[in-house]
Amino acid sequence: MLRAVILAALALALPAPLAAQEAAPCKPGEACATNLSAADVFAIADRYIAAGRGEEAETLYEGLSHDPNADIRAEARFRLALLRESRGNRQGGIDMLRTLLDEKPDAGRVRLELARMLALQGDESGARRELRRAGAAGLPDDVARVVDQFALALRSSRPIGGSIEVAIAPDTNINRATDSDTVNTIFGPEPAVLSPDAKAKSGIGLSLSGQAFWRADLSKRTAFLTRLSARADLYGESQFNDIVASVASGPEFQIGGARWRPAGIFTRRWFGGDRYSDSYGGSLNVMKPLNRVSQVEVEGTVLRNRYALNRYQNGTMIDVNAAYDRAFTPLFSGRIAARFNRQSAIDPSLATTSGSIEGVLSHQVAKQIVFIQASGSKLWSDAPGIFTAPNPDGSFDRITRRDTRYDLTLGVVLRQWTFRGLAPLIRISRSVNQSSVALYDFKRTRVEFALSREF
């Protein structure tokens, strides 16, 4: 009987005129079910679930998920997502809900279920993003009130989780260095000749990045959160390898409709295989939904920096940034952010102040997500350093560093080929830094072919 019902469910995936035809004659000794409607198959699946036969019910839903009728496909995919979650395959449920939303982006109930699953999976930011998209699609007043309460109380309930990304990255300037052969310094009238390692070099690197967290609930609205993050850009020439690892730990709680995260931080960086710097201090992150389609996030960080190779660079870094996120439609969203950074140093010429502004737009096209990110920044140092510039009379003046930088990134997430949470990603980035000091003047183009995964 099961085999016959499965064949009937698969028949519903054929064009409507074919699905209504009589099935081929049964082989001797077989029992067949013919001319079953979608409602009949849903009812059989319900009976299988009640009897604890979830695998058979999944098979029926999978057959209906390819039905030529869009409403039947949607209903089957929704039920299949919930069934997968109930059987311990939450990622499978998330993937199926996303497939459903590719066809029906305005399905508010589906987005709310996806937000709930993402929160349980540990992806709080993804859950909040889906809530904003649901708000942009429009929700009935009674549902919207419940969603507002959910958004205020939302935090990941997963005790451990994270994400990882692996990328192959061809890069025209792996060390972000100048094209100039020489620079003028205070050490003599003749320009200093730069070594090959101090000049721009191209290469193909392996980029690895990952984040992990551990959470211990202390009460309904309070938890203790520890986050680990690391990034490594690795090249055939190991002197350009750049590795950064950090740990942040502290409480997370809800006050006044906002999520607060104070944390202690320790960061270590290695460059070329040698310890480059250590940083320790603290941060405070505050995130608050403004309405059903937008949120604001503000973070302040104070770190004490210690450099292994140049103690005159030691000092305190103060960083403040704010970001505003908004979903304009269920498929189109944006983000604008501003940052202020102050880095003190023993040597005033190495102390810098900088500011930047950044914008991101993201749009889903069919099953793919296309995004563009653009930023501009200014940086200036406190005092002139060792670098000079010639005057018309042949004399030289010391230069105070002044930088203007522009970054543009285009990317696409190829969700059509997502498998078990693993999504292909292509990013193309262009950076141009214009500096009064030739040593810091550079251009860079980087292409990344990446795979990312939540776990």
Final residue in a domain of this structure, among 153, 176, 204: 153
The verdict on 311 and 222 lying in the same domain is yes
Strands 294-307 and 315-329: antiparallel
Q: Report the distance separating Cα 89 and Cα 58, nearest Å.
A: 12
The verdict on 93 and 43 lying in the same domain is yes
pLDDT at 179: 85
Q: What's the total number of domains in the chain? A: 2
The verdict on 289 and 414 lying in the same domain is yes
pLDDT at 420: 67
52: phi then psi, degrees, rounded to nearest 5: 80, 20
Residue by residue, pLDDT tens for the chain (455 residues) are 333 333 333 333 333 332 333 333 344 444 445 567 888 899 999 999 999 999 999 999 999 999 899 999 999 999 999 999 999 999 899 999 999 999 999 888 899 899 989 888 888 888 888 888 888 887 776 677 666 666 666 666 678 888 889 999 999 998 888 888 888 887 777 778 888 878 888 999 999 999 999 999 888 788 999 999 999 999 988 888 999 999 999 999 888 889 999 999 999 999 999 999 999 999 999 999 998 899 999 999 999 999 998 999 999 999 999 999 999 999 999 999 999 999 999 999 999 999 999 999 999 998 889 999 999 999 999 999 888 887 777 777 889 999 999 999 999 988 778 776 678 999 999 999 999 998 899 999 999 999 887 66
Q: Side-chain half-sphere of 118: how many Cα atoms within 13 Å?
A: 22
Beta carbons of 402 and 366 less than 8 angstroms apart: no
Final residue in a domain of this structure, among 105, 132, 153: 153
Spatial neighbors of 121 by CB under 8 A, at least 6 apart, are 90, 91, 94, 158, 161, 454
The verdict on 17 and 101 lying in the same domain is yes
The verdict on 215 and 113 lying in the same domain is no
Spatial neighbors of 304 by CB under 8 A, at least 6 apart, are 279, 280, 281, 315, 316, 317
Domain range holding 56?
A: 2-153
pLDDT at 388: 83
Q: Report the distance separating Cα 439 and Cα 177, nearest Å.
A: 7
The verdict on 427 and 387 lying in the same domain is yes
- Specify which residues 12 forms β-bridges with: none
Q: Report if pTM > 0.85.
A: no
Strands 294-307 and 182-183: unpaired
Spatial neighbors of 45 by CB under 8 A, at least 6 apart, are 56, 57, 60, 61, 79
Final residue in a domain of this structure, among 153, 178, 203: 153
pLDDT at 156: 66
Beta carbons of 448 and 427 less than 8 angstroms apart: yes
The verdict on 322 and 421 lying in the same domain is yes
The verdict on 146 and 193 lying in the same domain is no
Q: What is the dihedral of CA 381, 386, 390, 394, to 10 degrees?
A: 140
The verdict on 224 and 122 lying in the same domain is no
The verdict on 282 and 377 lying in the same domain is yes
What burial letters (b/e) apply to 390-419, b meaning 16+ CB within 10 Å? eeeeeeeeebbbebebebebebebebeebe
Beta carbons of 46 and 56 less than 8 angstroms apart: no
The verdict on 104 and 168 lying in the same domain is no
Helix axes 38-50, 70-86, angle to 10 degrees: 10
Q: Which two tokens stand for residue 115?
A: 């937000």
CATH number at residue 131: 1.25.40.10
- Specify which residues 211 forms β-bridges with: 163, 229
CATH number at residue 373: 2.40.160.40
Residue showing tokens 């499965």: 6
pLDDT at 153: 63
The verdict on 229 and 368 lying in the same domain is yes
Candidates 270, 252, 271; CA nearest to 262 is 252
Beta carbons of 370 and 362 less than 8 angstroms apart: yes
CA distances from 237 to 80, 203, 261, 418 (A): 49, 9, 39, 33
